[in-house]
Chains A and B, each alone.
Chain A
Amino acid sequence: MLYLDHAASSPLRPEVWAAMEPFRLDVYGNPSGSHAISRSAKNALEDSRDLAASLINADPSEIVFTGGGSEADNLAIKGRAFAGSRRGAIVTSPTEHDAVLMSAEHCSSFGSVVSYAKVTADGLVDPAEVASHVSADTAVVSIMMGNNETGVRLPVEEVVTGVKAAHPAAIVHTDAVQGYVSERVDVDVLGVDLLSLAAHKFGGPKGVGLLYVRSGTPLVPLVHGGGQELGRRSGTHNVMAVVGMAAAMAALEEERGAFGARVMGERDAFESTLNELMPDLVVTGAGAPRMVQTAHVRIPGVRNEMLLVRLDRAGLAASAASACQSGAAAVSHVLEAMGMSPALARECLRFSFGWSTGEGEGARAARLVAGEAGALR
């Protein structure tokens, strides 16, 4: 089995499971309680928070654990839009994850004005153009770090600089769910005020994520209740998952350099081998900086749904990157925003690499893809 769908989800790292396992049965207390059993859960929770914070150069009080990346994005957008007495405006781009786009749309039905920065054919935004949409009414600017479909790395740092030069008080969010897999995140280097992560994209468990919230950033919670996470996200913690998330971050940082080199090596070998075998191959975002783990390609004349079935049968898991609720491959809003026609978008596939990708898998996968795609031509 060749698993090249890490951008959808990565397998759990063994060392992460080792860290989580005691919480399966032994550490069961509610971290909000006062007795010894609760205290051990609370300690594990706060140790995990300290660890996660240190790995992105944040203060522990700036970490809000959530039920995943989508919740973190929702909290960033809605939490900001509803924070003032008026519905704040939102500035984003059409290639963002649906968790951002749908949140913005939801806020717009409550009065938020949403503006969208243009995207180039390579999937990039122009920082100056993003800044031009910002005003005193802007509650949040949200531009992702790396695109989950195409793998394009967006100029978040320049967006922050541009936005803050014009409006020093503006708040900038980045969805770093994929970007963090590709490179280390330092919230001060990026300059963002809000940043979303999801554990299962880099070997942590599913259903847990975090939102970094820069100290002093007003935010309205989505979930009200017992006041956990300093009132920013109520609900009893999933301690086991949080421990797993911090352990996965630590595992990723520990091998960061090697991870990047290995994953990019396999990705590059995949693309170059496939390109040799299929000279008309088109790599999406080829003219833009890209994350190390993603190959998004178009194979002219081959319908992605058909190729995915053949690859599935041959033991290679990849994806068309964007699926509708029913499970059909949808024409991607990302590719549409980059100016690609639906017919061409239906020829695109995403192959994403990760921590469990072994040496030689990239070239092996490319030969398999070329064979199966060739059978469809």
Chain B
Amino acid sequence: MRALVAMSGGVDSSVAAALMKEQGWEVMGVTMKLWQGPDGEAPTAGCCTVSDAEDARRVAARLDIPYYVWDYTEEFMSGVVGGFIDDYLTGRTPNPCVECNRTIKFSRLLAHADALDYDVVVTGHYARVTSDGGRYRLWRGVDPDKDQSYVLSMLGQDQLARLCFPVGDLTKDQTRSMADRLGLRTARKPDSQDICFVGQGNYREFLAGQGVAPTQGPIIHQDGRLLGVHHGITNFTIGQRRGLGVAVGQPLYVTDIDPDAGVVTVGDRSDLGVDEVTVEEMSWVDRPVAGALLAQYRAHGRAAPAEVSLEDGVAIVRFAESQEALARGQTLALYLDDEVVGGGIIRATA
């Protein structure tokens, strides 16, 4: 049986590869080159760097498995980065990691694995898959601090049948000590942060670098007062408090962004509350589920109790308690206890 391990050059996917090899799979390592500088070279800082690929290559050599770097920069640019920019231009808060998983890792890479006769694709995500009477179920990873099931909530049966997340059964400490024990050079490598293509800079600089020209517009208070002028809606996300450029003597938060009118609305913290969201592009792990569930709308956020009803492929999620700073564009994952049942994209908040 053959396993293709997506190796980022970090410790999690290094250990994932080692575990598959230990279990007797014929393993191949692949680093997906997703992002490049204007010179066509991999970046030297941030994620997807030349040194990350070098780390992955050395780990693969240590494990004695074949290793390749595949170029997905065009797909990543048109799909993930394009969507990221579009989301900001339309006042939404993008989740590029989910989009990358959906359009690249678990579609393109999976297809390429098929073409090369690989039975499964393996990643270093902290999540668990079990099979139950021929149906696959997706669970949170055992380490609550590292759980990444949120970014996998769009996976369905066809994909789960061909995916393995071997570190989902480990805590991060166990992963690191295993890497240490195996002498993998990535054992103490810090976790990656930030959005890989934005790197250490902020996303506003990134958007400017991509030629997104800001347009001025008004900043208006919930109560209708004109408070000032902003320099482009892409500078704002729902719930943002800092850098608003207006001062009225009490903390203000962005409560709404109207891309068509170019208006940014701000208000008090109490104005941030969201009781209900409409979730589109719903994808279900097995079958649609409604009723009392847990809803999570940030990668490492808490899951909040909610009542879910389904209408024409759209999920209406009504929270038991009002939630702060939910934004259009964010992914919402639905859980039954620790089991992922599905996920979609927030299109409207109320």
Contact = CB atoms under 8 A, between A and B. Distances in A.
A326 B31 contact: yes
Contact of B71 (A309, A313, A329, A375): A329
B279 interface: no
B31 A306 contact: no
A337 interface: no
A328 B28 contact: no
**Which of under 10, 10 to 19, 20 to 34, or 35 or more describes the interface residues of A?**
10 to 19
A326 B116 contact: no
Interface string A253-277: 0000000000000000000000000
Interface string B31-54: 101001000111000000110011
B70 A376 contact: no
A342 interface: yes
Nearest to B28: A309
Contacts of B33: 324, 326, 328
Contacts of B188: none
Given A326-B42, A328-B33, A310 B116 contact: yes
Contacts of A342: 74
B69 interface: yes
A312 B31 CA distance: 17
Contacts of B115: 306, 375-376
Contacts of A109: none
Given A305-B71, A325-B50, A342-B74, A330 B40 contact: yes
A327 B68 contact: yes
B68 A326 contact: no
Interface in A301-321: 303, 305-306, 308-310, 312-313
A375 B33 CA distance: 24
A328 B112 contact: no
B74 A325 contact: no
B316 to A, nearest CB: 42
A309 B36 contact: no
Contact of B36 (A305, A308, A324): A324
Contact of B116 (A306, A325, A328): A306
Given A306-B115, A342-B74, A328 B69 contact: yes
Interface string A38-79: 000000000000000000000000000000000000000000
Contact of B42 (A324, A329, A375): A324
B66 interface: yes
Contacts of A375: 115, 117
Nearest to A302: B115
Interface string A341-377: 0100000000000000000000000000000000110
Nearest to B111: A306
B69 A327 contact: yes
Contact of B68 (A303, A309, A330, A376): A309
A106 B53 CA distance: 27
Nearest to B44: A325
Interface string B67-103: 0111100100000000000000000000000000000
B42 A305 contact: no
B57 interface: yes
Nearest to B71: A328
Contacts of B31: 326-328
A305 B40 CA distance: 17
Find the residue from A303, A312, A324, A326 having the highest chain B CB count within 10 A.
A326
A46 to B, nearest CB: 40
B87 to A, nearest CB: 26
A325 B66 contact: no
B66 A328 contact: no
A63 B53 CA distance: 39
Contacts of A309: 28, 66, 68, 116
Interface of B: 28, 31, 33, 36, 40-42, 49-50, 53-54, 57, 66, 68-71, 74, 112, 115-117
12 contacts: A306-B112, A306-B115, A308-B68, A309-B116, A325-B42, A326-B31, A326-B41, A327-B31, A328-B31, A328-B33, A329-B71, A376-B115
